[in-house]
Structure 1
Amino acid sequence: MGQEASLPPRRRSFRERMDAVPAGEAHDSARGGGESALSQTASHPLTQTSMTSVGGLRAFDTALRVNDTGEIRIDDHVARVSMGASAGEREILPLPLELAQDHHLFCVGASVEDDELEALAVSAWDEAHWVAPGRLHLRGGVELSGPWSLPVNVRGELGLGADLTSAWVLECEPMRGARVPEELRGSDRWAEAFPEGLPFGTEYQVLLVLERMARRLAGALRIAGSGRIIQPDPDSAVSLAVYTPRWLGPAQLAEALSSAFPEVIDSRELIGQDAPPQTRREAAAERELRSVAPELSDELREVLARDRERAEDAEQVVDGYALLTPIANQSMMMIEAHQVERAPHVLRWEQWAQGAVIEYRLRWLPKGQVQIPEAIVTRSERLERMRSIRDIESAATIIHAITGGAVVDEDDFLVSLDDSIDADHSQFV
């Protein structure tokens, strides 16, 4: 690979991604390319209440609405709500403590913009849209209002870290179950956060999505009542998936990856299934992987066995396979390729996602283990994870450059990678 292509890719925020779109290039592909007066005056694609295709950067003048009977209809007259200045330019009021104590809070840092919050909400919920400046509707009767500033004295009262400078108040009717037994409270984060009764229904579903959003935005949730802080590690989302209509066979994918990952090998080589004759490079890679094979967990071997069962004889069409390669210093990456019944919800407006969709899932296997440790505490563990993130993003960039489609993270949010196609990969496009 060339020097430029060897640079590690970088996951870009939605703010960076949308700012990179030249003004006036957004178009309405859903309506034959016609551009309405509203779309011409909209200052930013993600400040519109209509759905924005965050994958293809296409702005639509229409919005989908579900009526009382469950019928989906197209609303051509959706009012745009301007959010005004960016978070760095506007003045926001401090969060009143009484309001904070009575509601769940979604807390983020100073760099998070409103349109990033909206983009993630739209990724998860069909109904998500701005209903007024500072009021983001999520789903039936549930809204986020804000942002409110979190000055030092307020953060201290709420037990929030200094990196969390603003908060959104969740307006959602509580839905709680029975009181959690004392002996079970330490076994689950939600049981600790809701000792008086676990949430269920809409409240629980919304909190789960907000937890995913918090991991993506390096934010946190503060739970009303208990005051429990749920702050996912933003670097814990290591694995990625590429969704595309294009199928690559195991030999073709291994060849595409070989320049960056010379030790990549078909997993069938490790479990005794016959495979096509090897090249000298593949034989060397097999010896390297066989040297670490005894360290592979029983769970990983079961995963490989399932992949073997899904694959037919070498002379016939393979409908599922897995490639393995060492990454970072002590980790491995498994790339599982197979067809899925449906693409993630975030891709629901992509036309290619309505047909056959292939998933290339790139999994991090720390020290050959399927289960990722819940806590990464030592400096060496964090360095290993960061190196693994870099290698997995590099592999995802190569696959995406060949197949097209979209890259999605563990939380089913879109990932934008800074990628380039060099001469080694252009032959596959």
Structure 2
Amino acid sequence: MAAPRLPASKEPRHLLVLPEDVGDDEVEVLAVSRFPQARWEQNDVPAPRGIMGPMTAALGMRTVSANMTPARTLRVARLSTLTGPYAVEAPDAVGLGLPSWSTYAYVVAAPRERGDKPYPGGDRDGLKRAFPDGMPVREEERVLQWLVAVARRLGGAVRIADNGIVLVPDVDGAIDLTVYSDRWLEPPEALAVVQQVHPRARLGEGTGTWDGPLPGAGRDAGIRPAWVTEVGGAGLHDALESYGVADPAERQRLHDEASAYDELMMAAPPPAEAFGVLVDLQHDGILSVEAAAETELPPLLRGLPWTSRGVVAYRVHWEPQFVEELEAERPSFEHRVARSRAAPQVQALARAIHGATGGEIADEADFLVDPEDV
């Protein structure tokens, strides 16, 4: 069943534009991935397949419907909806300045909420360029950021209502991946997993040691900490006395306890609660795997039985030689070449960690990724 043609309108409206191989079920999945209460509005035509219960990327992210449904409304937020899909014909694409591959479009209704002018700095999504007089805020900001993320994930574009600027985010512009799991790998275990992919990987531990205070610190220091000056003493003994520890034997006992605690912590430090594994890519930058407990989960993972017991996030991050290029809408050729070499390695690390821990994989927009697609 063919989609109706994109209707003409004199009112400014944001558009989400997609290529021909994207089905409306994929838009639905990505809407629920960011807005858990997203739903198709009821009307006279049966709505597409509903989403029942907790869902992962494996439930059809790659499915493409051969027959497009009539235009209908998908509510993503209290005041914001997408209506479509509409067919974009050649005259429509030319008149709206859309890419030549534009096949389907969703008309976006959202409140117009603007704040201050954009701050200088990176603009990977192009929103600063699209809103030079005042950046979107509140619900409009959330919806537009989601639209750009959807366009990047599905190879689409976003047309801005105010000025007709068309944002075509680079599908390769965000290559970081995160593995969410309920299994904690100790640093040596994680290092062994990463070394299956990169034998030269190493733990990102600090190399410095502490050998006590610098010479001259304390009683004879020329510059004393403020807390020492406040109590009128020249060293810790005087400070303890000023705070009510007048007995020399008691002061010595406190000193001995503090020294014993320091020695214990240095000899047997507590287990790591977070750590990193580093891979030097030389001219292509650095890969890191950062492991830590995570409480802010992607919406699709919240409330699942296995996530309720605590989740560890293993973030696989690529850092190029020139970090500022990560936020460039159109990075340099050299950056794109380095990124093209780093991306398969990010994916290989995510696959290895997922194979060792299980769980789910998410991209930088918190959209879940089928492990078979990584």
TM-score of the pair, normalised by structure 2: 0.70
Q: CA deviation at 1:229?
A: 1.3
Code of the residue aligned with 2:38 in structure 1: it is A
User: Structure 1 pair 328/105, CA: closer, same or farther in 2 (3 Å)?
Assistant: farther
Structure 1 residue aligned with 2:138: 201
Render the CA deviation track for 1:315-336: whole Å, top value 9, x for unaligned: 5311111111134962321111
Structure 1 unaligned spans of 5+: 1-89, 275-310, 421-429
Aligned pairs (5 A) from 1:8-407: 90-98=1-9, 102-132=12-42, 133=47, 134-177=72-115, 189-195=126-132, 197-268=134-205, 271-272=207-208, 315-327=269-281, 330-367=284-321, 369=323, 372=326, 374=328, 375-378=330-333, 381-407=335-361
Code of the residue aligned with 1:105 in structure 2: it is L
Code of the residue aligned with 2:12 in structure 1: it is D
Structure 2 residue aligned with 1:63: none
Find the aligned partners of 1:373 and 1:235 in 2 and give their Cα distance: 13
Amino-acid identity (%): 31
Find the aligned partners of 1:373 and 1:177 in 2 and give their Cα distance: 21
Find the aligned partners of 1:143 and 1:114 in 2 and give their Cα distance: 14
Q: CA deviation at 1:402?
A: 1.1
Code of the residue aligned with 1:109 in structure 2: it is P
- Tell me, what secondary structure is at the counterpart of 1:170? strand
Q: CA deviation at 1:172?
A: 2.0
Q: CA deviation at 1:195?
A: 4.9
User: Structure 1 pair 177/410, CA: closer, same or farther in 2 (3 Å)?
Assistant: closer
Find the aligned partners of 2:195 and 2:115 in 1 and give their Cα distance: 53
Say if 1:128 and 1:138, in contact at 8 Å, map to a contact too. yes
Find the aligned partners of 1:402 and 1:187 in 2 and give their Cα distance: 36
Find the aligned partners of 1:213 and 1:313 in 2 and give their Cα distance: 50
Find the aligned partners of 2:167 and 2:29 in 1 and give their Cα distance: 22
Find the aligned partners of 1:313 and 1:233 in 2 and give their Cα distance: 50
Code of the residue aligned with 1:97 in structure 2: it is A
Find the aligned partners of 2:12 and 2:275 in 1 and give their Cα distance: 50
Structure 2 residue aligned with 1:41: none
Say if 1:312 and 1:319, in contact at 8 Å, map to a contact too. no
User: Structure 1 pair 339/383, CA: closer, same or farther in 2 (3 Å)?
Assistant: same
Aligned length: 289
Structure 2 unaligned spans of 5+: 48-71, 211-264
Code of the residue aligned with 1:158 in structure 2: it is L
Say if 2:325 and 2:331, in contact at 8 Å, map to a contact too. no
- Tell me, what secondary structure is at the counterpart of 2:30? helix
- Tell me, what secondary structure is at the counterpart of 1:127? coil
Render the CA deviation track for 1:75-122: whole Å, top value 9, x for unaligned: xxxxxxxxxxxxxxx3122213326x5211011111111111000000
Render the CA deviation track for 1:41-65: whole Å, top value 9, x for unaligned: xxxxxxxxxxxxxxxxxxxxxxxxx
- Which structure is higher in RCO with an 8 Å CA cutoff and minimum separation 6? 2
Say if 1:365 and 1:371, in contact at 8 Å, map to a contact too. no
Say if 2:325 and 2:335, in contact at 8 Å, map to a contact too. no
Find the aligned partners of 1:391 and 1:312 in 2 and give their Cα distance: 36
Greater Rg over alpha carbons, structure: 2
Say if 1:342 and 1:357, in contact at 8 Å, map to a contact too. no
Q: CA deviation at 1:148?
A: 1.1
RMSD: 2.9
Find the aligned partners of 2:352 and 2:27 in 1 and give their Cα distance: 29
Code of the residue aligned with 1:130 in structure 2: it is W
TM-score of the pair, normalised by structure 1: 0.61
Q: CA deviation at 1:242?
A: 0.8
Say if 2:320 and 2:335, in contact at 8 Å, map to a contact too. no
- Tell me, what secondary structure is at the counterpart of 2:279? strand
